[in-house]
Chains A and B, each alone.
Chain A
């Protein structure tokens, strides 16, 4: 019962928590317990983060109720607000799915920012080529171009990681800088719209632009693609291939001894995450903004990773986390515009939620959660006649005695 698994991630292997993906399985005896502990601790983390946020607000002389009220109005107050929330959640979920595929394989990438920029450039290039092609053909081709560009942008870090063991966190981070500077160059020179004062490209041709779903909102048709991607990810997590990736992430040595090719998994998971980040770039360029701006990536790449971590690298979790983060960001901007409270507060709250989620998987906290759920299910079970039977409880009690 001690430390330092020799493997690369150490996730899910008993008491050891290593630099894996932070989605170490909550050890629980039944699916019901797992779900209750998971949901309960998630809500607790969100509530605690909002509470700390309120302390920060009050400490800086702002009224927390006013601030949170503005966030709620700005994220769900009317159709426009809901549209903003969904339009922000969409690329976050797509990047999150990509990050989750990598996380499950024990690979951490913070390069989505750069891959997203590359993907938006891909969508723009496709737009220039497909100017006169019918939208039914041009739109999917632009999406594919976005994904391909994103994939190309992660190719070098992926190969470096797989062949030379170059740390992917740091190399993808450097490629973010390259992408940002490249975009800056392109928008100031060849792609610059004539007469524009701030660097921005010409509008994307109509053939590749995604239409609005609801009039007078910025909710575009690309949001539908998100549903498809999350559904595909749900299939992936249940597929044999996905299982191989999970196995490699949880125990690389076991995976290797079963003949699962580690290098290829590392490389492919980075490429998949790059393609999805590129798709998010396509969503931004062809859907939301319909032009390229220097800050087209905002901080979607980073918060996409946050979404993947918050969502436990699972499909529904990612959807929920993307909605939460999208709402906080849309609401935060509304709060800044109407109440003059800086939108950075949203980032603070998101960081606090992430920290809360990180602790949630800590053995001590999980043990407390198990005890609470167990006592609840036992007392309910005694009353309603469901839950664990007496013998099961004794067995479970014997099992937990050693670890508590």
Chain B
């Protein structure tokens, strides 16, 4: 237990937390945009897992840049189904989202098993290494804990201000928030509600796919069935907690990543006295507490989950 007082434990936990937060940030940022526009993507898990498989398989063939792009696009393809079925045809968002999750998990499981028969070697990539920033990364504790990340993590945190800026300072952002709060009024002001919702949903597909890609290319390096392990749903929790704010997504994702890393690192120290399963529960327990606190203050976009049916 003495190790808990050691600095190395905490630098490892914090940098691990940032790493584990990376996929969550991508996914939650995209989902924030979609939910702000009034579209609830329960299928986020599906976007993520298909992005995870696609990016890994393409990276093996064509390198990381094409791989990430393919991962993002594959998420967008599933989101396209969401757009077509829910935004255009007004099908129930929860049912379709649930269907897309099963579709994503099933399809990736099918492709993985087909390309990886029992005993065959799994496709594998080297996970993205840390970037060493001269000077900054050398700062004792702070540098090691906070500033030695892979560029995927930097990219994730870099996206946060961009999404904030788009949401708060651009016409598109205003339209997104308008169609999420009151689509009728937005329509009356000349906003193409269906178009804005479609774009927002596609963005959540792109970023969800990228979040999945972050799992395989930056965290694990291999694919296995159900590798997203419910992170798509965790992202939904993060969004409730931070009240649909882009900056909040960064904080909330980091909080969850930190809990995840803490559970994993504690396992090395106290596994004799505490069952590993109890440590594995830590992040989910944190998520539950977060969910309860978030619910008390939640003020969701008013038309979240409701389709827009224009006058015909």
Q: Which A positions have Cβ atoms within 8 angstroms of B?
A: 1-5, 10, 15-22, 24, 56, 60, 108, 110, 160, 164-167, 169-171, 173-174, 177-178, 181-182, 184-185, 188-189, 302, 305-306, 309, 340-342, 344-348, 350-352, 354-355, 357-359, 361-365, 403
**A36, chain B: closest CB distance, angstroms:** 21
B291 touches A (CB below 8 Å): yes
Q: Which of B274-297 contact A (CB under 8 A)?
A: 275, 277-278, 280-281, 284-285, 287-288, 291-292, 295-296
**B49, chain A: closest CB distance, angstroms:** 12
CB-defined contacts of A305 to chain B, threshold 8 Å: 98
Q: Is the CB of B311 within 8 A of A108?
A: no
Give the CA-CA distance A73 to B296 in the complex, in Å: 53
Q: Is the CB of B114 within 8 A of A361?
A: no
Give the CA-CA distance A169 to B234 in the complex, in Å: 11
Q: Is the CB of B106 within 8 A of A3?
A: no
Q: Using A19-B305, A174-B288, A177-B281 as known contacts, say yes or no to A348 and B92 having CB atoms under 8 A apart.
A: no
CB-defined contacts of B240 to chain A, threshold 8 Å: 167, 170
Give the CA-CA distance A345 to B287 in the complex, in Å: 32
Q: Is the CB of B309 within 8 A of A2?
A: yes
Q: Count the A-B residue pairs with Cβ separation under 8 angstroms: how many?
A: 183
Q: Which of B222-265 contact A (CB under 8 A)?
A: 225, 230, 233, 236-237, 240
CB-defined contacts of B174 to chain A, threshold 8 Å: none
Point out the residue from A1, A5, A110 that lies within 8 Å of B311, measured CB to CB: A1
Q: Using A340-B117, A354-B95 as known contacts, say yes or no to A3 and B85 having CB atoms under 8 A apart.
A: no
**B57, chain A: closest CB distance, angstroms:** 13
Q: Which residue of B lies closest to A310 (CB)?
A: B95
17 contacts between A and B (CB under 8 A): A2-B184, A2-B308, A2-B309, A2-B311, A16-B309, A19-B304, A108-B94, A160-B292, A171-B291, A174-B291, A185-B277, A342-B112, A344-B105, A354-B98, A355-B96, A358-B95, A361-B92
**A321, chain B: closest CB distance, angstroms:** 13
Q: Is the CB of B111 within 8 A of A60?
A: yes
Q: Is the CB of B230 within 8 A of A173?
A: yes
**A302, chain B: closest CB distance, angstroms:** 7
Q: Is the CB of A363 within 8 A of B90?
A: yes
Interface of A is mostly: helix
**A49, chain B: closest CB distance, angstroms:** 10
Q: Using A351-B103, A354-B99 as known contacts, say yes or no to A342 and B308 having CB atoms under 8 A apart.
A: no
Q: Is the CB of B92 within 8 A of A19?
A: yes
Q: Which of B81-120 contact A (CB under 8 A)?
A: 81, 85, 89-96, 98-100, 102-103, 105-107, 109-114, 117
Q: Which residue of B lies closest to A14 (CB)?
A: B309
Q: Is the CB of B96 within 8 A of A347?
A: no
Q: Using A178-B281, A364-B89 as known contacts, say yes or no to A355 and B292 having CB atoms under 8 A apart.
A: no
CB-defined contacts of A60 to chain B, threshold 8 Å: 110-111, 114
Q: Using A181-B277, A362-B90 as known contacts, say yes or no to A169 and B42 having CB atoms under 8 A apart.
A: yes
Q: Is the CB of A20 within 8 A of B92?
A: yes
Q: Is the CB of A18 within 8 A of B306?
A: yes
**A15, chain B: closest CB distance, angstroms:** 5
CB-defined contacts of A347 to chain B, threshold 8 Å: 102-103, 105-106, 109-110
Q: Is the CB of B106 within 8 A of A350?
A: yes
Give the CA-CA distance A98 to B277 in the complex, in Å: 29
Give the CA-CA distance A290 to B167 in the complex, in Å: 55
**A300, chain B: closest CB distance, angstroms:** 13
Q: Is the CB of B103 within 8 A of A17?
A: no
Q: Is the CB of A348 within 8 A of B103?
A: yes
**B287, chain A: closest CB distance, angstroms:** 6
New A-B contacts (9) at CB < 8 Å, excluding given A3-B183, A169-B94: A3-B303, A4-B182, A21-B92, A60-B111, A166-B291, A169-B42, A177-B284, A354-B98, A403-B312
CB-defined contacts of B287 to chain A, threshold 8 Å: 174
CB-defined contacts of B117 to chain A, threshold 8 Å: 340
